Amino acid sequence: MLSKVLVANRGEIAVRIIRTCAEAGVASVAVYSEADEKALHVRLADEAVLLGAASASESYLAIDKIIEAAKSTGAQAVHPGYGFLAENAAFAKAVEDAGLIFIGPPSSAIEVMGSKIAARDLAAKADVPQVPGSQGTIASVADVIAFGDEHGYPVAIKATYGGGGRGMRMVASASEAESAFASAKQESAAAFGRDDVYLERYLSSARHVEVQVFADTHGSAVWIGDRDCSVQRRHQKLIEEAPAPGLSDELRRAMGEASVRLAKQVGYVGAGTVEFLVEADREAFYFLEMNTRIQVEHPVTEMTLGLDLVAEQLAVAAGEPLSITESGAVPRGHAIEVRVNAEDTRGALFMPSPGPIATVQAPTRAGVRWDGGYESGDEVQPYYDSLVGKLIVWAPTRDRALDRLTLALDELIIDGVPTTVPAARQIIAHKDFRNVAMHTNWLERDIDFASLLPPVEDLSDTDAEDTEEMLPRNEVWVGDRRYVIPFFTPAGPAAAAPVAEPQARRAATGGPRKKRGGGAAASGEAKSPMQGTVAQIDVEVGAQVEAGQVLMVLEAMKMQNPIRAAVNGVVESLHVEVGQVVAAGASLATVVAAGE
Ligand code: MV4
């Protein structure tokens, strides 16, 4: 077995890995940022190394610092968890080159699967079915229309170096091709640094089913169950379950065998997940992408198969053969996981709401597991993902698991921050979810999610003061893009927010609004409408700007939110830098109106 493992992550997955290390007799090294000095993963690990400032680029994404921490503590291996550097081929390579063991596949496998086009080519070679797609990256909008003419609409435009749905746009007809192509490229560039896109035939009401695979260094590769992850909002999974309900044994086996063929084709080692779209009624499945990491939702597989997948990862990394020698172990009962994020779901907005957690208390009933990253008194930081923990239930049948989950959600106590629990309760109480009538577009297309959750108006904060106050955010959809817009009104909370003003007038400015002749907005500070990260700054101090012009882009909840000038004028000052995390209401820039 390994002697010491550095865990290059934070929150619940770092805690999860450290706990298994302790069970396996493996010493653990935590790494942390200045914001995480008191974090649970730091408290639990045998040793901890400070990486740097709070921003992820200074800490959990700082490859050199992490390698140095592994060397200085004498760790033999590095576990990347999920997110951060988990699917960064350069990081895996740096770990390998430092003579350390990367707990995951070879960097070459990460690299291949990182290009969705290379992954599709490999899937074709391994005889894994997939939806029709373009021959590699496309050059222009004409390619979208030609593809739509040939294969029919809808068409999906996807980021070549993306994944997880970011940069993805659905094109319903030729008339939408131009704007979808432009915004897919723009979002891909912002999210992945490269704007290559490719095409696939878009399946509108399939389910999202993934297969867990595992391979060792002795040439053995197996598939061990599947999970349904169809319930997603803005490509964030909310609920996952195992086994995927309603699939025939033949379909499961065909998907499992296809997944193992792909894993073998790429020389895979360790835990991996192969994602598919499934049309269960047609017994059809289509490869989407392969995730080369342990996934957030791995516990539902563990609960139904009686496994510890992290322990298996450690064993494989130590060069041991897989303990699971056969594919297709039959799951026992049913497991469902709910992701619990510190988010304010009022008005179905899901705004990240970090802060101190007064109390975390998980239910204690039979068949319940809580994988948490925080204890009472800990603080959810604004710099990272808002996942507080995962509530997982197991029961002999899916119906009983849903009943148990309903009670467990009632019993879960998290005080101090709002959570996504109310949204999860609404979803699992829905008859379509109970009846396995959900699919990838169910939540966003068929369910009026906003109507399920309390409207902002009903619960708006009443601690407002002064005359100008930032109201709860509003959101506007332009095509498939979400824009969050703050409204500033003279008094009182949550008067119904207008939605019909032109974009330029709804610019993200706060502070006193000096009225000028004709009612034009005057100078002002551009304030952050939400907690987020400055992804890009488009102007310099002294620049002439027009009302509505984009000053910068704020990334929040994986969306790119333009911050626009309220007035024609000059940028007097910029108050933030790229990469900086800003709180809601933070001052971003000051624009002085022309003539002032
Ligand atoms: C698709 C798709 C339909 N057709 N591709 C989203 C995550 C990423 N791994 C792939 N995803 C999808 N790719 C084609 N050709 C449907 C999804 C998808 C999805 C789409 C919209 C809303 C929710 C979704 C949930 C899961 C998968």
- For ligand 1, whether the C-beta of 203 sits within 6 Å is yes
Question: Which are the contacts of 577, defined by CB distance < 8 A and separation ≥ 6?
Answer: 534, 537
Residue with token string 């319940």 = 368
- For ligand 1, whether the C-beta of 240 sits within 6 Å is no
Average pLDDT value for residue range 518-547: 80
6 or 345: which leads in pLDDT? 6
> What is the C-alpha separation between 450 and 212, in angstroms, rounded?
33
Reported as a pLDDT band with limits 50, 70 and 90, residue 496 is: very low
Best residue among 87, 160, 208 to mutate for probing ligand 1's pocket (most ligand atoms within 8 Å of CB) is 208
- For ligand 1, whether the C-beta of 216 sits within 6 Å is no
pLDDT in tens, 439-454: 999 998 877 777 778 7
- For ligand 1, whether the C-beta of 472 sits within 6 Å is no
> Which of 417, 91, 438 minimizes the C-alpha distance to 238?
438
449 or 205: which leads in pLDDT? 205
Q: Which two tokens stand for residue 119?
A: 């992954």
pLDDT for residue 465 is more than 60: no
Can you give the pLDDT at residue 509?
A: 34
> Which of 468, 428, 416, 472 minimizes the C-alpha distance to 452?
428
Ligand 1 mean position, distance from CA 169 (Å) = 10
Mean pLDDT of the chain: 89
In 53-147, beta strands by DSSP E: 77-79, 101-102
> What is the C-alpha separation between 372 and 79, in angstroms, rounded?
18
pLDDT for residue 500 is more than 50: no
pLDDT for residue 511 is more than 50: no
> Which of 573, 577, 580 minimizes the C-alpha distance to 556?
580
Can you give the pLDDT at residue 26?
A: 98
Distances in Å between the Cα of 528 and the Cα atoms of 3, 9, 483, 505, 516 are: 47, 28, 13, 16, 24
**Full DSSP string of 539-596:** --TT-EE-TT-EEEEEEETTEEEEEE-SSSEEEEEE---TT-EE-TT-EEEEEEETT-
Average pLDDT value for residue range 341-357: 93
At residue 471, the 3 state secondary structure works out as: coil
Q: Give the chain's end-to-end CA distance (angstroms, integer).
A: 71
Phi, psi of 55 (to 5 degrees): -60, 140
CB distance 443 to 231 below 8 Å: yes
- For ligand 1, whether the C-beta of 181 sits within 6 Å is no
338 or 594: which leads in pLDDT? 338
Q: In what order do the strands lie in the sheet with 581-582?
A: 559-564, 550-556, 532-537, 581-582
> What is the C-alpha separation between 275 and 253, in angstroms, rounded?
15
Q: In what order do the strands lie in the sheet with 197-201?
A: 169-171, 155-159, 197-201
Best residue among 116, 157, 168 to mutate for probing ligand 1's pocket (most ligand atoms within 8 Å of CB) is 168
Of the listed ranges 160-169, 407-416, 500-509, 567-576, the one predicted with least confidence: 500-509
pLDDT for residue 346 is more than 90: no
At residue 344, the 3 state secondary structure works out as: strand
- For ligand 1, whether the C-beta of 131 sits within 6 Å is yes
pLDDT for residue 462 is more than 50: no
Q: Is the dihedral of CA 98, 83, 199, 205 positive or negative?
A: positive
Can you give the pLDDT at residue 562?
A: 84
Q: Which two tokens stand for residue 475?
A: 């959101």
349 or 44: which leads in pLDDT? 44
- For ligand 1, whether the C-beta of 159 sits within 6 Å is no
At how many degrees (to 10) do helices 298-305 and 309-317 cross?
100
Reported as a pLDDT band with limits 50, 70 and 90, residue 474 is: low
Distances in Å between the Cα of 90 and the Cα atoms of 96, 115, 127, 194, 547 are: 10, 14, 29, 16, 42
